[in-house]
Amino acid sequence: MHNYDEYKGIAEHHLLDYLPQVDAKARTIYDSMKYSVMSGGKRLRPVLLLAACEYAGGETAEALPYACAIEYIHTYSLIHDDLPAMDNDDLRRGNPTNHKIYGEAVAILAGDGLLNTAFETLFRNLTYYFDDPKKLKRHISAALIIAKAAGVNGMIAGQLADVENECRECSIELVDFIDENKTGALLKAPILAGLILAGADEPTILHFASYAECIGKAFQVSDDILDVVGTEKELGKTIGKDSAQGKANYALVNGIEAAEKELHRLTVLAKEALEEACGDTSFFEELADQLEKRRS
């Protein structure tokens, strides 16, 4: 197993590999997609995918298209989320958002282009396994998991509920629904997809599903805390937006102290979920601790 920065390095080294070259007449679509894909970030989703695949004995080369596809999907969701009609954000990872550079029309198309490219990459990847039925099935299952998590019973459902409930009192149940879908779905999917690509057994997948659900919730709670107490410089994005827009935010609904307690509880639960998993799970336990302590 590598460490976080090594997996991140591998993912970043290959992030442009699956962005197709385009005709000069549509060059801007490539430039705008590349701008957002290469504008930094933690690369948490590809790291989780590569680590899960290696943990279960899979090959990194097989996992790369999935690692990149899930980062494209995450990036498209940020581009659309930042649009004036959505969160209306000028700043992302310390840089101007896509529509501030390329305009709204191109930003909408860049998001569409990244989502399409993610799935085009995965369909093309399947054609390389025509002669290996066992691996082909694993790859199809992994791709389906990512597509479901990104869809209208996953991330898009969370986005919808988030957008629709601005400026309203949010119940804890609704905050949970938004967190589970908007953030949790696309953190769980890379872990499960990585395991499935490597042919992990059912008990392993179940242990890691519990782990993923806990760190997904923890990640959103810490996001909510940072939106209240973080600094713009550390985060590279506009803060205090949840409060200004009346967004669902665990720390705003329950207070900072309760949020920090919940974050710790979820981190402990995540680590406990791996106690019965075979092999060396230390990467994932350390990651849960790092996510609890993160300041950006």
Residues that bind its own copies (CB under 8 A): 20, 22-23, 25-26, 28-30, 33, 76, 80, 83-86, 103-106, 108-109, 111-113, 115-117, 119-120, 122-124, 126-127, 130, 133, 136-137, 140-141, 143-144, 147-148, 150-153, 156-161, 163-164, 174, 177, 181
To its own copies, the closest distance from the beta carbon of 237 in angstroms equals 19
To its own copies, the closest distance from the beta carbon of 88 in angstroms equals 10
To its own copies, the closest distance from the beta carbon of 124 in angstroms equals 6
Closer of 173 and 257 to its own copies (Cβ): 173
To its own copies, the closest distance from the beta carbon of 82 in angstroms equals 11
How many residues make up the chain in this entry? 296
Closer of 7 and 76 to its own copies (Cβ): 76
Residue pair 157/227 in contact (Cβ under 8 Å)? The answer is no
Alpha helices in the chain (DSSP H): 4-14, 27-37, 44-55, 60-82, 98-102, 104-126, 133-150, 155-164, 172-178, 185-197, 202-229, 232-235, 241-245, 250-254, 256-273, 282-293
Closer of 83 and 268 to its own copies (Cβ): 83
3-state secondary structure string across 140-182: HHHHHHHHHHHCCCCHHHHHHHHHHCCCCCCCHHHHHHHHHHH
To its own copies, the closest distance from the beta carbon of 195 in angstroms equals 17
Cα–Cα distances in angstroms (integers) from residue 170 to residues 59, 155, 229, 235, in the given order: 43, 18, 20, 25
Cα–Cα distances in angstroms (integers) from residue 291 to residues 22, 80, 172, 212, in the given order: 37, 25, 22, 12
Closer of 180 and 262 to its own copies (Cβ): 180
Compute φ and ψ for 135, nearest 5 degrees. -65, -35
Closer of 26 and 38 to its own copies (Cβ): 26
To its own copies, the closest distance from the beta carbon of 63 in angstroms equals 17
Closer of 235 and 248 to its own copies (Cβ): 248
Closer of 25 and 233 to its own copies (Cβ): 25
To its own copies, the closest distance from the beta carbon of 136 in angstroms equals 7
Q: For 171, how many CA atoms within 13 A lie in the half-sphere containing its CB? A: 3
